[in-house]
């Protein structure tokens, strides 16, 4: 890894990272402060007025009286997917394809940095920046929950949920990174790197909207964020974490290999 390049990448991308972090902090804070076990009946009553399919599509299926389940349903069905995915798609595209497209990669490659070193540095930046966004929100989530509803948050389950969600976003980012390494033009990198996660999201929503389309959930990475299973079984967490991690590593490594070997239009 090259520290100078890492710092330069950080300086070029910190703002979007900050924006996504603040958005998630805002939603996390709202969700936790809104939690009121005594008004659960009222919330359920409100939910009954909305079509069931719609509620499921946006992941608000289980806004129960238990804090961990409530946070999970409120945030991890949609909000904790969409914002980090937007971040991953934009930044993954900027890290390689945009450098190639704009010509700055040509300059980088005329310094004593090898292609592999550049690609690894950019991959580490992407993975670690997403991790930092999650870590900040985990810490804030725990502090807020403990200060407002001491002892109600099942911290181990909350951490497991965040781990799986982070790894799913990592896998999405690896796909974006792969396309960023594959294409020399940002329009293709962005179209595929953004298109695939978008298709995954549509599949997820369709599979949750209609029971006839439930089989489609096996075709999207987001199905790994199965809140009920994560909260129930640590076996599921270990197994699914391992699978998503392998998927992420495969796409990151493939991207680095392709970038190292391909002809650059620079």
Partner 1 sequence: MIKVTDLDFSYKGSKTKVIKGINFHIKKGEIFGFLGPSGAGKTTTQRIIIGLLQEYEGSVEIMGKERKAWGREFYERIGVAFDFPNLYLKLTALENLQLISSYYKKKPQDMESLLERVGLLSDKDKKIDGFSKGMKMRLNFIRSLIHDPEIIFFDEPTSGLDPLNAKIIKEMILEMKKEGKTIFLTTHNMTVAEQLCDRVAFIVEGKIPVIDSPKELKVKYGNQSIKMEYYEGEFTRVEEFPIKGLKENSRPREILKTKDIKTIHSQEATLEDIFIKLTGRKLV
Indicate the residue among 110 and 150 with the shorter CB distance to partner 1: 110
CA 130 to CA 17: how far, in whole Å? 8
- CA-based Rg of the chain, rounded to a whole angstrom? 20
Answer yes or no: are the C-beta atoms of 149 and 67 closer than 8 Å.
Answer: yes
Least distance to partner 1 from the beta carbon of 265, Å?
A: 8
Distances (CA, A) of 217 to 54, 81, 214, 246: 16, 15, 6, 19
Cβ of residue 118: shortest distance to partner 1, in angstroms? 11
Reading phi first (left if > 0) and then psi (alpha if -120 to 50, else beta), residue 103 is in left
Tell me if 184 sits within 8 A of 100, measured CB to CB: yes
Question: Which residue's CB is nearer to partner 1, number 217 or number 262?
Answer: 262
Which residue number, 5 or 231, has a Cβ lying nearer to partner 1? 5
Instruction: For the CB of residue 147, give the shortest distance to partner 1 in the complex, in Å.
Output: 37
Backbone phi, then psi, for 153, in 5-degree steps? -80, 125
* Three-state secondary-structure class, residue 88: helix
Shortest approach of partner 1 to residue 126 CB, angstroms?
19
What is the spatial distance between Cα 127 and Cα 110, in angstroms, rounded to a whole number? 26
Pair 236, 230: CB distance under 8 Å: yes
Nearest residue to 173 (alpha-carbon basis) of 71, 90, 56, 258: 90
Q: Which is nearer to partner 1, 113 or 223 (CB)?
A: 113
Q: Which is nearer to partner 1, 33 or 102 (CB)?
A: 102
Return the number of the residue (184 or 233) whose C-beta is nearest partner 1.
184
Q: How far is the CB of 56 from partner 1 (least distance, A)?
A: 43
Which residues make up the interface to partner 1 (CB under 8 A)? Answer: 2, 4-5, 7-8, 11-12, 102-104, 106-107, 109-114, 263-264, 266
Q: Pick from 169, 134, 137, 165: which is nearest to 230 by CA?
A: 165
What's the closest the beta carbon of residue 266 comes to partner 1, in angstroms? 6
């Amino acid at each position: 890894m090259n520290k100078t390049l890492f710092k330069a990448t950080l300086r070029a991308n910190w703002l979007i990272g900050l924006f996504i972090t603040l958005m998630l902090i805002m939603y996390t804070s709202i969700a936790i402060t809104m939690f009121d076990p005594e008004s659960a009946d009222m919330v359920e009553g409100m939910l009954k007025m909305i079509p069931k399919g719609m509620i499921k599509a946006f992941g608000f299926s289980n806004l129960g009286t238990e804090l961990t389940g409530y946070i999970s349903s409120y945030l991890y069905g949609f909000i904790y997917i969409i914002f980090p995915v937007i971040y991953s798609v934009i930044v993954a595209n900027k890290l390689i394809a945009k450098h190639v497209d704009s010509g700055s990669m040509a300059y980088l490659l005329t310094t004593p940095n090898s292609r592999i070193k550049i690609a690894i540095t950019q991959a580490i930046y992407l993975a670690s920046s997403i991790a930092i966004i999650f870590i900040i929100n985990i810490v804030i989530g725990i502090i807020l929950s403990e200060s407002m509803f001491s002892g109600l948050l099942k911290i181990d389950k909350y951490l497991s949920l965040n781990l799986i969600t982070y790894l799913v976003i990592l896998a999405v980012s690896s796909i974006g990174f792969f396309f960023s390494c594959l294409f020399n033009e940002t329009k293709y990198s962005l179209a595929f790197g953004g298109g695939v996660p978008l298709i995954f999201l549509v599949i997820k929503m369709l599979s949750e909207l209609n029971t006839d389309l439930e089989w489609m959930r096996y075709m999207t990475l987001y199905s790994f964020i199965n809140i009920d299973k994560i909260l129930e079984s640590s076996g599921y967490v270990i197994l699914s974490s391992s699978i998503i991690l392998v998927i992420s590593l495969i796409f990151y490594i493939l991207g680095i290999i392709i970038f190292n070997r391909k002809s650059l239009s620079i």
